[in-house]
Amino acid sequence: MIRHVRVLPVLLLTPLLLTACGSEKAGAGGAPGSPSAATPAAAAPDTGAGELRVRAQAMGVAPELVYVTEAPGFTLAQQSVGVLGDDGFSATWVDGGTNALLRLAVDRGTITAGTCPEQPVGDMSGEHTTCERDGKAWYRTGAGRHEYALPEEGHVVRVSAETDAVPRDVLRAAALAAHRPDTAETDRLLPSAEPAPATPVERGDLPPFGDGAPDNHVDVGG
C-alpha cells in the first residue's frame, strides 16, 4: 500500500577470495596454460554497493528498496528523493519542457489480482482503482493518475504520473527501465552520508567581557 513520503553505516561487503578448483591449494603452480597455472586473485570490494548501503541507511531507507529509472526528457528532482513509509524509497523525475512529473515509489509488500483494486494509485486513498495485467506488471488507473506496478521479491516498484500529463507508453517504458543503481547513479541519486561540518555561529552583539550577554545599554534620554 502506498503511504505518504516523509521528507527528508554499515559494514562494507567482505571481499570474496577466489580459490582454485580441485584439491590444489590456491596459488599452487601448474603446467603452463593449465587452469591451475594462474594464481587466483582476491575479488575487489564492491564499493558501489557499500556506498549505496551507507547513503541509503543514513536517510532511513532500506538499501534494497533503492531504485532508479529514466525517461526521455525527464531529469531527477534531487529535492524529491526521500523516505516512503517506514523504510521505502521515493523520487520524482521532471520533464523540463512540460513540467510533467514521473514518480518512482518502492515499498515493501506485494500486489496480486485480488489486492490490486484495493490499493489506491498514488496517495489518493478512497478512490476507485482499475487494474489491467500487462506482462509481469500491473497497469493501474484511478483519481486522474495512472501507474505501472512491478512486483519484486518482498516489495513493489511503482512508477506513476497524471494520466493527461504522461502517455501510457512513456510510463510503461519508465517502469520497465527501473533498476538498482550502479555506483555513478548512486552518487547522483542519493545525498552524501557525510555530516555537514559544525561551524560555530558568531554573534556580533556579544561583548568579549562579563557574562557574554548582549549589550543593551541605552544612553540618557532613551
pLDDT at 174: 98
The half-sphere exposure of 182 on its side-chain side, counting CA atoms within 13 A, is: 1
Cell of 201: 555561529
List pLDDT tens digits, range 158-197: 999 999 999 999 999 999 999 999 999 999 999 998 765 5
CB 67, CB 202: distance < 8 Å: no
Q: What is the mean pLDDT of residues 54-74?
A: 97
28 pLDDT more than 90: no
Phi-psi region of 163 (alpha: psi -120 to 50; beta: other; left: phi over 0): alpha
End-to-end alpha carbon distance in the chain: 64
148 pLDDT more than 80: yes
pLDDT at 49: 83
List pLDDT tens digits, range 86-137: 999 999 999 999 999 999 999 999 999 999 999 999 666 667 899 999 999 9
pLDDT at 194: 73
For residue 121, which amino acid is it?
V
pLDDT-based confidence at residue 21 (cuts at 50, 70, 90): very low
Helix H or strand E segment including 174: helix 168-176
Domain ranges for the chain, please list them: 67-189
> Which residues, listed in sequence order, are joined to residue 105 by a DSSP beta bridge?
90, 158
Q: How far apart are alpha carbons 212 and 149 in whole angstroms?
A: 60
What is 67-189's CATH topology? Answer: Phosphorylase Kinase; domain 1 (3.30.200)
> Which residues, listed in sequence order, are joined to residue 152 by a DSSP beta bridge?
155
For residue 56, which amino acid is it?
A
Cell of 124: 489518493
> Which is it for strands 88-95 and 82-84: parallel, antiparallel or unpaired?
antiparallel
Of residues 217 and 188, the one with the higher pLDDT is 188
